[in-house]
Amino acid sequence: MVPVWYWVVTAILLVWNAVGCLACFSQMRMSPDKLASLPEAQRAAWIAMPATVKAAYVVAVGAGLLGAIALLCRCAAAGPLFIASLVGVIVQFGWFFAVYKGASKLGASSLAFPAVIALVAVAQIAFACWAKTQGLLG
């Protein structure tokens, strides 16, 4: 029997990852006018971001959404998908903070949301691993 809270956590992760995909899609399709309306530091960061890092962003959110769908289907692929998502997160934020030096350009407050994203990415992996050990994923 699958506990009700498993479905609650899975639904929350599904919404979290869907919102991430929508944000990514919105940013990737940003019009020149929308880009111009961003604060200078954010605009400069987006323009400087290499295509490979943008691809890592797509992998992070896409694999996260697929992992959440796998949880919904009780499929063991959730764990590897969440690991792929975490790798995307590490590449994306690794570039932003280590290469681009984003914290010095956008301030210490730019650390908060990426930290939450990274923590959720790790928690998703832990949840999928736990669910597999409990026999909830096939």
The pLDDT tens digits for 15-52 are 999 999 999 999 999 999 999 999 999 999 999 999 99
Question: pLDDT per residue over 88-133, tens digit each?
Answer: 999 999 999 999 999 999 999 899 999 999 999 999 999 999 999 9
Element containing residue 3 per DSSP (H, E)? none
Whole-structure pTM value: 0.94
Kindly list the domain boundaries of the chain, sorted by start residue: 4-133
Enumerate residues 6+ apart whose C-beta is below 8 A from 73: none
Nearest C-alpha neighbor of 125 from the set 91, 76, 52, 92? 76
Give CA–CA dist 99/130, Å, rounded: 34
Whole-number Å distance between alpha carbons of 1 and 14: 21
